[in-house]
Amino acid sequence: MSENPTPPNQEQPSDKAPEGAGSASSPAPTPAPAAAAPSPAAAAAKPRIPGPRPSPGKPGPVAGAHPPAALHHTANNPAKFGRVDDEGNVFLKTADGERQIGSWQAGEPSEGLAHFGRRFEDLATEVELLEVRLSSGTADLRKTRSAASALLESLPTAAVLGDVDGLDKRLQIVLAGCEEAVVEARHRKDAQRVDQITRKEALAAEAEEIAAEASQWKVAGDRLREILDEWKTLRGIDRKTDDVLWKRYSKAREAFNRRRGAHFADLDRQRAGAKHRKEDLAIEAEKLAASTDWGPTAAAFRDLMAEWKLAGRAPRDTDDALWERFKQAQDTFFENRKVANAEVDKEFAANATAKESLLAEAERIDPATGLDSARAALRNLQERWEDIGKVPRERMHDLEGRLRAVETKVREAADQQWRRTDPEALARAAQFRDRVNQFEAQAAKAEAAGKAKDAEKARAQAKQWQEWADAAEGAVNER
């Protein structure tokens, strides 16, 4: 090829690949085009710089996609893959043979080879960008697959010098990787959907359990709100399934709200009833506050307190105010009783002192010096004892016991005197003695008659009656 300058109707070629720069079906020489726009495949690819790793819903790196360390492919040798003939026609060598890709009229053949070699490098760069994006897992699979398909379709007519067959294989791998990534993404999406459904089913079941059983209203209400917040973070479920699960949760929340509302409405009714009842109890307590009927009134206050506890809680501010009224009336009564009891205790203490003086006098009574005078003295002392009145409870047993001892002493002396003068006891002793004499006489008569056995029997009977007579006489004498 000559080194003639470029004809006036032609432009110097640029590093950009010209469109329609010649083909195997039109081997006739064509003018070298001006700086051409990128090929349709190159325009369709619109490569982007790879971004960060994908989220769980995006495809991951694809094996076999030629992930290069950087966008610097192996240096291209256009002379290995093409030639420029003497007429300036440029041919690409492929596995299927040569095909004309254009012509070069602007300079040395080596410059033409370099020019078409650079166009190949541009095309290879686009392929590498697709490989990098796919291997990194950040690719938009639809766009990547579309760009790879466009590049693959452009290869048979691409006006480039380089390993086009290699690019073909690499693009086939990219397309296969896209399909694999689509399947993997679908599997991940399905797995994620199952997981999200499982989590929402668990949340719905928990909400249903809360709606049916919970009685810690604040804790349960807070938990239902937490469930709703978590629910909003779970996505990727088909609408039909999501609607069914949402209806379960919503129904459970509504059931809980109704049950909680009914509880607090009932509680309000109970508190209103408790308020009215406690108002009545406070009024009754205030009526009893000034009573001096200590025993019955104290019992009445105990009954009122029992009713107060059974009345339940009124609203807090009202309940506290009513309790103050009730307690004030109760305290007034028991304080009055305490003062009155103090006066009574003082009186009872004086009575105890007086009764101790009487006991000292009573314990000097001696029936042995005269039973009648002892009885008279005791009767006088008992009358004075009753006139004195009550003593402190803790002194009562001791004082009464001492008086009972004096009364017992006088009574036993009177009983003993009566037994000594009892005619029936004396007559009974005499009868026993007569029977003794009778059996002794029988024994003597039987012995005189030689009836020893009858005599022995009579003496035994006489002995028995003697013992009874001695016992009867002894009882009389002891009196």
232 lies in the same domain as 209? yes
Q: Which of 77, 85, 76, 81 is nearest to 109 (CA)?
A: 85
Cα 160 to Cα 75, 93, 104, 119, 260: the distances in Å are 14, 10, 13, 5, 78
Please say which residue of 165, 187, 209 terminates a domain.
187
Q: Helix (H, G, I), strand (E, B), or coil: what is residue 93?
A: strand
The verdict on residue 390 lying in a domain is yes
Residue 199 has which token pair? 């989590």
The verdict on residue 15 lying in a domain is no
DSSP one-letter string for 2-25: --PPPPTT-----SSPPTT--BTT
The verdict on residue 405 lying in a domain is yes
Please say which residue of 138, 153, 187 terminates a domain.
187
The verdict on residue 16 lying in a domain is no
The verdict on residue 74 lying in a domain is yes
281 lies in the same domain as 362? yes
The verdict on residue 342 lying in a domain is yes
256 lies in the same domain as 335? no
The verdict on residue 14 lying in a domain is no
176 lies in the same domain as 255? no
Q: Helix (H, G, I), strand (E, B), or coil: what is residue 91?
A: strand
275 lies in the same domain as 409? yes
276 lies in the same domain as 324? yes
Residue 442 has which token pair? 């029988």
- Tokens 């291209």 sit at which residue? 76
61 lies in the same domain as 111? yes
Q: What is the CA radius of gyration of the chain?
A: 66
104 lies in the same domain as 129? yes
Dihedral of CA atoms 316, 320, 323, 329 in degrees, nearest 10, equals -150
Burial pattern 164-183, b for ≥16 Cβ within 10 A else e, equals: beebbebbebbbebbebbee
Cα 81 from chain centroid? 77
What total number of domains does the chain contain?
4
405 lies in the same domain as 310? yes
Rounded to whole angstroms, the Cα distance separating 98 from 237 reads 55
Task: Provide the pLDDT for residue 453.
Answer: 85
74 lies in the same domain as 164? yes
247 lies in the same domain as 160? no
DSSP one-letter string for 362-417: HTT--GGG-HHHHHHHHHHHHHHHHHH----HHHHHHHHHHHHHHHHHHHHHHHHH
Residues facing 93 on adjacent strands: 98
The verdict on residue 28 lying in a domain is no
CB 469 within 8 A of CB 436: yes
286 lies in the same domain as 412? yes
- Tens-of-pLDDT digits for all 479 residues of the chain? 333 333 333 333 333 333 333 333 333 333 333 333 344 333 333 333 333 333 444 455 544 444 444 455 567 889 899 999 989 999 999 888 899 999 998 888 889 899 999 999 999 999 999 999 888 877 788 899 899 999 999 999 999 999 999 999 999 999 998 888 888 888 888 888 889 899 989 999 999 999 998 889 999 999 999 999 999 998 888 899 999 999 999 999 999 999 999 988 988 888 889 988 888 989 999 988 889 888 899 999 899 899 988 888 888 888 899 899 889 999 998 999 988 888 888 888 999 898 888 888 888 888 888 888 888 888 888 888 888 888 888 888 998 898 899 889 888 887 777 766 666 766 777 887 788 888 888 888 888 888 888 888 888 888 888 888 788 777 666 55
The pTM assigned to this predicted structure is: 0.42
DSSP type of residue 102: E
Please say which residue of 236, 270, 304 terminates a domain.
270
Task: Provide the pLDDT for residue 17.
Answer: 37
Task: Provide the pLDDT for residue 33.
Answer: 35
Q: Which domain holds residue 99?
A: 40-187
